[in-house]
Amino acid sequence: MLAQGLVLLLAVASLVATLLPLIRQTVWWIRIFDFPRLQIVGVLLAVLVAGWLLGWHHPAAGYWLPALLASVALAALYQAYRIVPYTPLAGKHVGDSTRTDGGGHLSLVMMNVLQYNKQSDKALRVLQQADADIIMAVETDEWWHQQLKPMEKTHPYTCHEPLDNTYGLLFFSRLPLDGCEIKYLIDDDVPSVHTRVQLPNGRTWVRVYGLHPKPPAPAEAETSTRRDAELLLVGRQIEQRDEPTIVFGDMNDVAWSHTSELFRRISGLLDPRVGRGLLPTFHAEYRLLRWPLDHVFVSPHFKVDDMERLPYVGSDHFPIYIKLSFEPQDKAEQEESLEEADAADEQEAVEKIREGRQEEVEEEAREAVERR
């Protein structure tokens, strides 16, 4: 009886965890279930095996236990359907590079250092070994700025905004930058980088956005509204341009969420993870609780030369590295993988941006009242 009760509890919990993300509410305790799809699949499969061994499929079990087992099987299939595109079982949306010269290559590292982590020697060593053209380090305060300052010897083009609120960022580039700006798109304490980077060929400029929006979590933001709004605001800016573009950062969202998929449709960008693997970057210290939070999205002008998760640096995130190749001659072919935004997507993006701005105004008003 105890075993059956435990399996029943797991079955109901995993079904609820599967159904909740289908609700388009932004409160954190619903949106948090977007993240652990792989873990939920594991629980669902364990329930299927245990339920079968307990005889739930047998006619003698009545009607509701076989129905529950069938529901668990359908939930497992649905969760797998959402995850499979981010495994090698699926076709790649961004093809493998065929370019042999280095003039059109661009490499990037995204690293969330964890502000309170003091293992800066590990972080600096990993960055130096990766030797990427562009580096963005987030959760960086002034202490981290000083620790990573040696990178400026090899990466003299910088655009820094160190802050002590866990949303500071440092941006290093080996390649020339044009018009690099730090912007506060939605939250007045969450910066982002907006710039253009010149490729080694000296002719091509690439628009680059570096983001780190707040996650939906009790200690950060009660809803995902402002995170979604920041992503979609950038997506709509990209939508209005036709140029080589890269968006990267700790998005505090998973690639298979509704918002990430909406962002890709609105922006016209592709996810290099599709067809290559999950490359989970968070949580670095808990092997069974990992999902991909750090992302790179690219326009169809690019192909992938290399993509990998970098070693542990003392943070709760692993850094991620990608080497891209500018191959615009294959742009039309890669655009076939794009899902185009329809009128409903455009309307949803507009509404989410409006709601995000309104939520920030309301929070500022509440804080002003509390300070009086």
Per-residue pLDDT of the chain (372 residues; tens, 9 = 90+): 777 889 999 999 999 999 999 998 899 999 999 999 999 999 999 999 998 888 877 666 667 888 899 999 999 999 999 999 999 999 999 999 988 787 799 999 999 999 999 999 999 999 999 999 999 999 999 999 999 999 999 999 999 999 999 999 999 999 999 999 999 999 999 999 999 999 999 999 999 999 999 999 988 889 999 999 999 999 999 998 889 999 999 999 999 999 999 999 999 999 999 999 999 999 999 999 999 999 999 999 999 999 999 999 999 999 999 999 999 999 999 999 898 999 999 999 999 999 999 988 887 777 666 666
Beta bridge partners of 109: 135, 321
Query: Does residue 225 share a domain with residue 157?
Result: yes
Residue 353 in any domain: the answer is no
Query: Does residue 135 share a domain with residue 53?
Result: no
Residue 274 in any domain: the answer is yes
d(CA 152, CA 150): 5
The pLDDT score that the predictor gives to residue 242 is 87
d(CA 169, CA 174): 17
Query: Does residue 152 share a domain with residue 295?
Result: yes
The pLDDT score that the predictor gives to residue 65 is 87
- Domain span including residue 327: 105-337
Query: Does residue 66 share a domain with residue 130?
Result: no
Query: Does residue 34 share a domain with residue 61?
Result: yes
d(CA 250, CA 196): 19
d(CA 317, CA 257): 19
Query: Does residue 259 share a domain with residue 145?
Result: yes
Element (H or E) spanning 210, and its range?
Answer: strand 205-211
Query: Does residue 188 share a domain with residue 63?
Result: no
What is the largest distance, in Å, between two alpha-carbon atoms of the chain?
74
Residue 91 in any domain: the answer is no
d(CA 236, CA 353): 10
d(CA 124, CA 126): 6
Q: Which residues contact 69 (CB under 8 A, 6 or more apart)?
A: 48, 51, 52, 56, 57
Q: Point out the domain boundary residue: 29, 52, 86.
A: 86
Number of domains into which the chain is organized: 2
Query: Does residue 195 share a domain with residue 125?
Result: yes
Query: Does residue 155 share a domain with residue 229?
Result: yes
Residue 366 in any domain: the answer is no
Is pTM beyond 0.75? Reply is yes
Query: Does residue 275 share a domain with residue 166?
Result: yes
**Within 10 A of 142 (CB to CB), how many other CB atoms are there?**
12
d(CA 251, CA 117): 20
| Amino acid type, 43 | V
Q: What angle do CA 353, 206, 326 make, to 5 degrees?
A: 120
Query: Does residue 305 share a domain with residue 156?
Result: yes
The pLDDT score that the predictor gives to residue 4 is 85
Element (H or E) spanning 309, and its range?
Answer: strand 302-309
The pLDDT score that the predictor gives to residue 59 is 65
The pLDDT score that the predictor gives to residue 101 is 80
